[in-house]
Chains A and B, each alone.
Chain A
């Protein structure tokens, strides 16, 4: 079974600085999708960014980018120019066959003014 591991339960960053959240996964498949979701306090979970495993180019969405290392099975999220609104729980997820997602444990990000 596929597993997703987020080894950082909590992270903090100063406003306007850059932070990187780690994620590793285990799979024997060669084609799959990876996601980062954000869950703000008392608000709905939303998609931040996604990556197709067959694409070597790292995905980027404005201030959010990923470092996808397929051989190492690593998928980290970089947030540049951090803002107070980035404070949230972040979940890494892997899409298994049949459209099922497996989630990591989550990383609670605090942004300090």
Chain B
């Protein structure tokens, strides 16, 4: 019954490594989002996408990039991982509804540790 799947629950990477976090949704949603979650800071939006090959910067895009080649897949890329990118990363998706309320469906999260 899983609707938003994040490929890795736990990752440990070295400083300077390139890191890929994958997210796949099976609900045919137009919108996809990447958040990072840190204690005391809540969730902060990194990037989002309203359609294939479209991307928009969120509130904290520095050090990250994204790719959306297919509607169901939204990848977060850390070109050169740094220790301050150690965090929980949450992917979410939503449909573009007529009501306007953007109800997100979340993945289980990917906990990244950068050493």
Interface on A for B, CB 8 Å cutoff?
4, 6, 9, 33, 35, 37, 43-47, 50, 52, 91, 95, 98-106
The number of inter-chain residue pairs (CB within 8 angstroms) is 53
The listed residue (A52, A99, A102) touching B96 by CB distance below 8 A is A99
* Chain A residues near B43 (CB-CB < 8 A): 91, 103
Residues of chain A within 8 A (CB-CB) of B109 are: 44
Q: For A47, give its contact among B31, B103, B108 (CB under 8 Å).
A: B103
Does B104 make an interface contact (CB < 8 A)?
yes
A105 touches B94 (CB 8 A): no
Whether B89 sits at the interface, judged by CB under 8 Å, is no
Shortest CB–CB separation between residue A97 and chain B, in angstroms? 10
Contacting pair B42 A101 (CB below 8 A): no
**Nearest Cβ on chain B to A23's Cβ, whole angstroms:** 11
Complex Cα spacing A17 to B42, Å: 26
Interchain CB contact (< 8 A) of A33 among B42, B45, B102, B106: B102
User: Assuming the A-B contacts A44-B106, A45-B106, A95-B102, are A100 and B42 also in contact, with contact meaning beta carbons closer than 8 angstroms in the complex?
Assistant: no
Chain B contributes a number of interface residues (CB within 8 A of A) equal to 27
When C-beta atoms are compared, the residue in chain A nearest to B99 turns out to be A52
Q: Residue on A with the closest CB to B39?
A: A106
CA distance A103 to B44 in the complex (A): 7
List chain B residues, Cβ under 8 A from A101: 33, 45, 102, 104
A6–B40 alpha-carbon span in the complex (Å): 10
B101–A43 touching, CB < 8 Å: no
With A45-B90, A99-B96: A105-B40 Cβ-Cβ less than 8 Å: yes
By a CB distance below 8 angstroms, the chain A residues around B94 are 99
| Interface pair A105/B102, CB less than 8 Å apart | no
User: Apart from A33-B100, A106-B42, what are 11 other A-B pairs with CB-CB below 8 Å?
Assistant: A37-B104, A43-B108, A44-B109, A45-B106, A98-B56, A100-B45, A100-B48, A101-B104, A103-B44, A105-B41, A105-B42
